[in-house]
Structure 1
Amino acid sequence: MTDIPPSILSHISLGTNRFERALAFYDQVLPTLGCQRLLAHPGAVAYGREFPEFWLQTPIDGQPATVGNGTHIGFIATSQAAVQAFYQAALAAGAQGDGEPGPRAEYGAPYYGCFVRDLDGHKIEAAFWDSTLE
């Protein structure tokens, strides 16, 4: 799959209790998927390729950010190599591995991905869908 598929979502936001540390993590990891900072506001930064798709912020209600059990964010990768680069960059930036890069038969033949826990404990994924394997 050479073209990035259209998303069904406008954007996703994750809360953090350590804003600057979280920004440093995502600044290091998201470029492996072709993403960069696009917008910044006090306490919030948006990343994306063309438009703000992923926001990192301190909670607007002033309460501590918490991790959602059973929740994870999946980023689209453009190749298996991008999935591997994402995983390595995330580990180098302090993430905990939660599923090494590779195929997962339960998701179907086209899937190749990995999972990590970011510095706040959020589960994030990079996934490549290879349409030549369908």
Structure 2
Amino acid sequence: MENPSILSHVSLGSNRFSEALAFYDRVLATLGIGRILDLSEHQAVAYGRIYPEFWIQAPFDGQPAQSANGVHIAFLAKDREQVHAFYEAALAAGGKDDGAPGPRPHYSEPYYGCFVRDLDGHKIEAMAWLEPDK
């Protein structure tokens, strides 16, 4: 089976590694995503469904992690329910609201998503491509 993804992986640095892992364990589980590769002894953990596609790690250069203006990571959800579960889990785990779940017709009619900030201020999203109403 060919991997349909266009990216190998994305990495985010964290200043709060253990807390970030607890946050992402809880939030990504709502989308069926879990730890694929755990290198906690090196302060790096990869998440995915099959492949290690999303990494949380201590910054490689030893400097404090920073969130980037204009950058966000979007996780694919199956449906509205997963988008809402992601959003609620993120807020319950200490994330900050950056756009409640709902349609985003300016992206596309079937686009449904939410935005939150993680514990380090990184912008993350859960989004689903919904089937048109019949």
Question: Shared fold (TM-score greater than 0.5)?
Answer: yes
Shorter chain as denominator, the TM-score bin is over 0.9
Distance 2:4 2:75 in 1: 12
Distance verdict in 2 for CA 1:27–1:65, change over 3 Å: same
Per the TM alignment, residue 6 of structure 1 is displaced from its structure 2 partner at its CA by 3.0
Distance 1:7 1:103 in 2: 24
Residue 7 of structure 1 and its aligned partner are, at CA, apart by: 2.2
Query: Partner amino acid for 1:43?
Result: Q
Aligned position for 2:43:
43
Alpha-carbon separation, structure 2, partners of 1:63 and 1:93 = 25
- CA RMSD for the aligned pairs? 1.3
- C-alpha separation between the residues in 2 aligned to 1:6 and 1:95? 30
| Whole-angstrom distance in 2 between the partners of 1:89 and 1:60 | 28
Structure 1 unaligned blocks of 5 or more:
none
For structure 2, the residue ranges without an aligned partner over 5 or more in a row are: none
Q: Deviations over 1:36-58 (max 9, x none)?
A: 00101121000000010100000
2:4 is the counterpart of 1:10 = no
Identical amino acids, percent of aligned pairs: 64
> Could you tell me which residue of structure 2 aligns to residue 100 of structure 1?
100
Output the TM-score relative to the length of structure 2.
0.93
Counterpart secondary structure, 2:30: helix
Determine if the alignment matches structure 1 residue 22 to structure 2 residue 28: no
User: 1:123 — aligned with what?
Assistant: 123
Letter in structure 1 aligned against 2:87: Y
TM-score when normalising by structure 1: 0.93
Q: In 2, Cα distance between the equivalents of 1:132 and 1:35?
A: 26
Instruction: Report Cα offsets for 1:104-134 as digits up to 9, x if no partner.
Output: 111110100000000000000000012436x
The residue number in structure 1 matching 2:110 is 110
For residues 101 and 7 of structure 1, the distance between their equivalents in structure 2, rounded to whole angstroms, comes to: 24
Residue 82 of structure 1 aligns with which residue? Answer: 82
**Which segments of structure 1 move beyond 4 Å, counting only runs of 4 or more?**
none
Secondary structure of the 1:33 match is coil
Q: How many residues align?
A: 129
Per-residue deviation at 1:97?
A: 0.4
